[in-house]
A = this chain, B = another copy of it.
């Protein structure tokens, strides 16, 4: 269902020949209106790919009529010529879609190897071929065409019936990472047929990404290309209350974020880190991220070793408010560290399952946050060393 679950959208996914493998590599999503409201959130990496620079500019206008996405090349670190390629892609899209479409309302997203120009001789004809296949049932194919190292394509949909009528938020995602940072590039396109104005759309998207995509941290590496877009067609005629709409956007983002962690390169564990009793939410996030990025802990969890000492080491590198001798840590519900020292018997911790739950109690206040990460495995090393990606 993906990006075409909501009314007013059509999509397509095709193989344009950008990937040597012949796999699908070009997706097109079109908002048929009546509204063209849009919001976007992008990587905070200062080295931004050409399509990110382009799409940030497009989003400033608040209107997006189409999104064209390619896998098989990130178009990052490609200089002025790379930016011209992105511009030409948007121009070509507007041209083949015709009607009121203009390049300034076409967002572009790319994913793949950095530092390689895109094969425009394949990409531009591919845009025309994708336009010819646009369909109100094309969401699934679009989701497949944006895959890189993803083992499965990722989609999510929520439908809501409220006093305002029925409306839908759906979307697709690729990658295994996060907004800042991300393992691989994360590209997400969300669509809704709710009638929501640009300011509320923007507010709902930023609120949702802040606690979902921005809190998955598979390997601490921030991409040059991360992009999350939310397009509203207004085609349902329903105009839900802001809180109701924001909750639905958050639910779809949360679903997709979990799928990204669950499909991270080479991972054998999905690790949920909840930091509780922090003095501030910022403290909780800083501590959660520090734990999530500790390679020694990630190796230990891969080996099913509930090594709470490495959790404490990671907490100790932060500037969060805490007293070392008041820290408590639970792994899968067993409080293996109490008061900064040995707690319950670590032999009680059952590490057999894919999901590992770490609770870090800072004993310093009322705030909390959840960060998701993965373990560090030989497969991760293999996937990221055996070939360029």
Residue numbers of A with Cβ under 8 A of B are: 44-48, 74, 76-79, 82, 113-117, 181, 183, 219-224, 293-296, 299-303, 305, 307-310, 312-318, 322, 324-325, 327, 337, 339-342, 376-378, 380-388
Q: A47-B340, A77-B342, A78-B342 are in contact. Are A313 and B388 (CB under 8 A)?
A: no
- Residues on B with C-beta less than 8 A from A385 are 299-303, 305, 376
- Residues on B with C-beta less than 8 A from A341 are 77-79, 82, 115
**11 CB-based A-B contacts, threshold 8 Å:** A46-B324, A47-B312, A76-B309, A114-B312, A219-B296, A221-B314, A223-B313, A299-B385, A300-B385, A376-B381, A380-B381
Closest residue of B by beta carbon distance from A376: B381
Closest residue of B by beta carbon distance from A295: B219
Q: Is the CB of A388 within 8 A of B312?
A: no
In the complex, what distance in Å separates the CA atom of A308 from the CA atom of B385?
A: 13
In the complex, what distance in Å separates the CA atom of A382 from the CA atom of B379?
A: 11
Q: What's the minimum C-beta distance from A116 to chain B, rounded to whole angstroms?
A: 8
Q: Which of B294, B302, B327, B337 contacts A381 (CB 8 A)?
A: B302
Closest residue of B by beta carbon distance from A76: B309
Q: Is the CB of B77 within 8 A of A294?
A: no
Q: Which of B183, B223, B309 contacts A114 (CB 8 A)?
A: B309
Majority DSSP secondary structure for residues of A touching B: loop
Q: Which of B221, B313, B315, B325 contacts A295 (CB 8 A)?
A: B221
In the complex, what distance in Å separates the CA atom of A46 from the CA atom of B117?
A: 46
In the complex, what distance in Å separates the CA atom of A293 from the CA atom of B220?
A: 9
Q: Which of B78, B294, B388 contacts A221 (CB 8 A)?
A: B294
- Residues on B with C-beta less than 8 A from A377 are 381
Count this chain's copies in the assembly. 2
Q: What's the minimum C-beta distance from A40 to chain B, rounded to whole angstroms?
A: 19
- Residues on B with C-beta less than 8 A from A221 are 294-296, 310, 313-314
Q: Is the CB of A47 within 8 A of B115?
A: no
Q: Is the CB of B47 within 8 A of A316?
A: yes
- Residues on B with C-beta less than 8 A from A223 are 313
- Residues on B with C-beta less than 8 A from A317 are 44-46, 181, 222
- Residues on B with C-beta less than 8 A from A342 are 77-79, 115-117
Q: What's the minimum C-beta distance from A147 to chain B, rounded to whole angstroms?
A: 18
Q: What's the minimum C-beta distance from A119 to chain B, rounded to whole angstroms?
A: 15
In the complex, what distance in Å separates the CA atom of A312 from the CA atom of B77?
A: 8
Contacts A47-B324, A299-B380 known; list 13 others, CB within 8 Å: A44-B317, A45-B313, A47-B315, A47-B327, A79-B342, A115-B341, A220-B295, A221-B314, A224-B309, A295-B295, A295-B376, A295-B380, A299-B383
The 4 A-B pairs with the shortest beta carbon distances in the complex, nearest first, are: A114-B309, A303-B385, A47-B316, A79-B341
In the complex, what distance in Å separates the CA atom of A244 from the CA atom of B322?
A: 43
In the complex, what distance in Å separates the CA atom of A223 from the CA atom of B341?
A: 16
In the complex, what distance in Å separates the CA atom of A181 from the CA atom of B307?
A: 18
Q: Is the CB of B47 within 8 A of A388?
A: no
In the complex, what distance in Å separates the CA atom of A376 from the CA atom of B318?
A: 24
Q: Which of B45, B340, B384, B387 contacts A296 (CB 8 A)?
A: B384
